Amino acid sequence: MGNNRFDGMKKELRVADNVLSERLRRLGGAGLLIAEPYSAGNRPRKEYVLTGAGTDALPVLHALTVWAQKHTESPSGKSLRIICTTCGTESASGAWCRICGAELTAATTAWNHPKSTENLIQLATAGTPKVQRLTSECMT
């Protein structure tokens, strides 16, 4: 949801430290993200960045979101909405915009999450530049 640091994710997700730590460890073990160290205060911390595999999982996440909207009920009655940033409409598909036909990639997608503190989460700015930098560093 745009947070790539532990404290930000914990606040957005409202989960215990041990639960979030285990989830991040599993995502890292699956090759979907990497932990990049940074300094803040007296102790080193980690920033979590999607790998190429994590970025490629976006269509899968969208398909699961569309499935959940059709087949489950949210306790609040609200669910994640996939927004095409090319034309600004909500998508009923996980892969393509139903209005303008744009492919839904990190660059052309935003999420409207009912529990997010942000109005619209722009996926293009939620870690993508770091992924590209890390990928190019790994190739050299």
CA distance 115 to 8: 13
- The pLDDT score that the predictor gives to residue 127 is 46
CA distance 24 to 3: 13
Is residue 133 scored above 50 in pLDDT? no
- The pLDDT score that the predictor gives to residue 132 is 37
14-66 pLDDT, tens digit each? 889 999 999 999 999 999 999 998 877 777 888 898 888 988 888 888 888 88
Q: Which residue has the higher pLDDT, 78 or 87?
A: 87
Instruction: Kindly report the pTM of this predicted structure.
Output: 0.61
Three-state DSSP state, 126: coil
CA distance 77 to 101: 28
pLDDT band at 115 (very low <50, low <70, confident <90, very high): low
Three-state DSSP state, 61: helix
Burial of 80 (0-12, 13-18, 19+ CB in 10 A): buried
